[in-house]
Amino acid sequence: MDQSRPIADGVPFDQEYRVFPKCWGAEYTAAGEARFRLWAPAIDTLSLCLADEIVPMTPSGAGWFELLATSLAPGTPYAFILPDGTAVPDPAGRGLQSDVHGPSILVDPTAYRWRHGAWAGRPWSEAVIYELHVGTFTEDGTFAAAAEKLAGLADLGITMIELMPVAAFGGERGWGYDGVLLYTPHPAYGSADDMKSFIDTAHGLGLMVMLDVVYNHLGLDGNHLPSYAPVFFLEEGTPWGPRPDVSQQVTRDFIVENALYWLEEFALDGLRLDAADRIERDKSEVQFLEDLARRVHETFPKRHVHLVVEDSRNITRLHERKEDNSPPLYDGVWNDGYHHLIHAWATGEHGGLFAPFARDFWPRVGKTLATGFVLQGERIAGKGDEIFGEPSGHLPPVAFVNFLQNHDQAGNRGRGERLWSLIDADLGERLMAMLLLAPQIPLLFMGDEFRSKGRFFFFSDYPEGLRQNDPEERLQQARNFGTEDLAIHEIRDPNAPETFAVSKLDWDEAETGTGRTARIAFRNLLEKRCRHLMPLLKNVGGGVGHLLLAEDGRLAVDWQLGESRWQMRGNFGEAPATLPPVHGTTVHVHADDTEADIRDLSEFRPGSLIVVRS
């Protein structure tokens, strides 16, 4: 950031460009001049191949090598040359010449001029998240093509885009959770400037952009760090690749700087940390997740920067609030239990990871809506004496990100079905209304707005011999995600280009009669959320949910949101039921009855849902 510019509320006026000065890799220091820096403690000598010239680098202590070069133009290819002659790309480079096995290219971060540089974000309470995969969101699969769809999403009422990981990974296509160059946008999606333009366009439409980042491991294809810095990783890895040793300061700084780099240089509004429970196993006095969050908030005190974790532990300490109900660490957590519970009830799939949620459906649906996690300190059959989860009712509802599906839930099923192919349309409408009109933060997967039935598979471009290609492992994972009857011959080859192609979102679906009807209903629900619910969620505290009734498909939950009471009543059973009464202004009704009939909750008909604000 150019600190010489005037600042109002921490945001430079008409900030045209953003620069984050990294410790690793290539950095412009002046016009035509760049410093190259790499930590390579396992080798004694290191050279730099700059264009076609190989130049020795200077050791600078503690495993670091440096070189200052002049007369350089943006786009100049470069690579680090190890003692055995192997050329490796910059692990913190901003661009690649071709792929993760080839040279990096020198990128001038000041080249992009921001059109909406004074954007400071939006409060977390206004988040309606839309998860998308750049490569399959459009036919072209690029940042530029995705940007053309943003106006339509903003018009529907979406307020935040969540990008699946974009850090460069091996091959052309993949989900992105096997990134190896954490600072480099994947070349198939476009350049760093293309990504910035996508984010800039989103900001101009009032959309926040969050990036999914993977810090619990690096991928196996194209990860060259072990050849010159093996101590970067722990001996104990993960099924997907080696795990960074974040108890080591150099490793921790590399990852924390990566977070700050994305947030500053790309003006992102937040980060979602993948599998955070697998990161936090270090023995440091200050745990990595806490350290990262504090450094982010210290760096951007005047911007709305939001941090979210995926964390299977169902713990609360990362999400506690201050006296003013603001989060000192993380805004929210993906509430997988909500999805698993709803999915198990709606589809009848009770095996695999849904097994712990295949009982006491409605009492637990009521509990998660009122108090957060489904698992709040209980044992799971077959898991021994381990206690899962912690009581979470003291947290505000906005600490929980709820969803009906995401990339994992469709793509890991083996057949790639979305929820809308597994349940009837009327039930889908009620579940969508319950998601969007509950006080938790809702997340949608691309295509949910028109109830896409297009398939979304796990796809990749791995080289032969990589263990991720094992079809038996893919089959076991698919069965764990509900498709217990799946046979191995049904497993698609994730490396086949056709698997990637068929996973692309079919935008023609949105223009069918069903698609248009779904989008209208979706827009109406988000208009109601924006008008009636969002104002009540600003600075909301914990302990606000009250479960009145939840059994046999009957559901009654109230939330005390400041001076207003938000009331939800639903009958998901098969017979008329008596539910606790509601008082106030009707916000939403799902039923064939008139409003006067449905407010008489002594004979609340099956398939009905009502939301009332008093």
Query: If we measure between CA atoms, which residue out of 479, 421, 431 comes closest to residue 453?
Result: 421
Token pair, residue 496, equals 């086949």
Helices assigned H by DSSP within 385-470: 407-411, 425-436
CA–CA gap between residue 74 and residue 487 (Å, rounded): 51
Q: In terms of C-beta density within 10 A (0-12 exposed, 13-18 middle, 19 or more buried), how is residue 524 classed?
A: middle
Query: If we measure between CA atoms, which residue out of 184, 179, 208, 190 comes closest to residue 143?
Result: 190
Helix (H) or strand (E) holding 153: helix 150-156
Cα Rg of the chain, angstroms: 25
Give 410-463 as a DSSP string. HHTTSS---GGGTS-HHHHHHHHHHHHTSSSEEEEETTGGGT----------PP
Strand duo 585-590 + 564-571: pairing? unpaired
Q: What share of the chain is helix, strand, coil (3-state, %, to 5)?
A: 30, 20, 50
Where do the DSSP E strands lie in 347-414? 400-403
CA–CA gap between residue 559 and residue 540 (Å, rounded): 11
CA–CA gap between residue 243 and residue 252 (Å, rounded): 12
C-beta neighbour count of 7 within 10 angstroms: 12
Query: If we measure between CA atoms, which residue out of 603, 564, 597, 602 comes closest to residue 583?
Result: 564
Token pair, residue 408, equals 């994992």
Residues 6+ apart with CB under 8 A from 29: 35, 68
Helix, strand, or coil (residue 210): strand
Residues 6+ apart with CB under 8 A from 531: none
Token pair, residue 471, equals 């079809």
Token pair, residue 142, equals 């690029």
Give 238-256 as a DSSP string. BTTBPPB-TTSHHHHHHHH
Where do the DSSP E strands lie in 145-239? 160-163, 167-169, 179-185, 208-213
Residues 6+ apart with CB under 8 A from 246: 215, 252, 255, 279, 282, 284, 288
CA–CA gap between residue 89 and residue 223 (Å, rounded): 10
Token pair, residue 224, equals 């060259």
375 within 8 A of 351, measured Cβ to Cβ: no
Known catalytic residues are 274, 310
